[in-house]
């Protein structure tokens, strides 16, 4: 997926998750959308920093990097929601492109799903939108039935027994 696809995904995710976290549709919903927009977009763009150093779709496109950004807000109570942008970046690169990513880097094998399209395809945007709708639906299920996504770091450690 290209930068445009990742930004489109991040913007649509912020809107969708804004309504998941605050479904009233009033000013509070739009405040939540604004609060989510920057961290999700930063997270969505962060993995591609490895185009300037290291090996693209390897150095910053792996599970240890994602784990750092999932754990960071729990431990330090900042950088909330950046992990969502990183996770969805990985999902787009796995499902929305032909090449895939090295999830277990430095192990070199790249993983992808057979539904991807070339980055230059005219269908790339529609694939991005379809994947984003699925991501929002999955996040909604997690939020409503497993653990609220707006749970603070200290509360998460209590919930999971740490």
* Mean predicted confidence (pLDDT) in 73-101: 91
Average pLDDT value over all residues in the chain: 89
pTM above 0.85, yes or no: yes
pLDDT digits (tens, 9 = 90+) for 2-60: 889 999 999 999 999 999 999 999 999 999 999 999 999 999 999 999 888 888 888 99
Burial track 130-150 (b if 16+ CB lie within 10 A, e otherwise): ebbeebbeebbeebeeeeebb
- For residue 145, the enclosing domain spans 3-159
Q: Is pLDDT of 129 > 80?
A: yes
Question: Residues 6 or more apart from 63 whose CB is under 8 A from it?
Answer: 103, 104
Q: Is pLDDT of 161 > 70?
A: no
* Mean predicted confidence (pLDDT) in 65-81: 93
Q: Is the CA virtual torsion 130, 96, 50, 80 positive or negative?
A: positive
* Mean predicted confidence (pLDDT) in 105-130: 87
Give the per-residue pLDDT at 159: 52
Please give the C-alpha separations between residue 89 and each of 123, 130, 148, in angstroms, as whole numbers: 18, 14, 21
Enumerate the H helices of 22-160 as residue ranges.
27-45, 63-76, 82-95, 124-141, 153-159
**For the chain, how many structural domains are there in total?**
1
Give the per-residue pLDDT at 1: 76
Measure the CA–CA gap between 56 and 96, rounded to whole angstroms.
16
Q: How confident is the model at residue 118 (pLDDT cuts 50, 70, 90)?
A: confident
């Amino acid at each position: 997926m290209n930068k445009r696809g990742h930004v489109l995904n991040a913007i649509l995710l912020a809107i969708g998750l804004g309504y998941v976290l605050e479904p009233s549709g009033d000013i509070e919903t739009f405040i939540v959308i604004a609060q989510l927009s920057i961290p999700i977009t930063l997270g969505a763009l962060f993995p591609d920093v490895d185009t300037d150093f290291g090996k693209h779709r390897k150095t910053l496109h792996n599970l240890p990097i994602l784990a750092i950004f999932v754990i960071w807000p729990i431990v330090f109570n900042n950088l909330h929601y950046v992990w969502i942008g990183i996770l969805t970046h990985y999902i787009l690169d796995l499902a929305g492109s032909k090449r895939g990513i090295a999830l277990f880097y430095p192990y070199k094998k790249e993983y992808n799903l057979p539904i991807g399209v070339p980055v230059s395809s005219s269908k790339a945007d529609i694939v991005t939108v379809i994947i984003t709708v699925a991501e929002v639906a999955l996040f909604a299920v997690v939020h409503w039935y497993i653990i609220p996504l707006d749970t603070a770091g200290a509360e998460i450690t209590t919930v999971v027994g740490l």
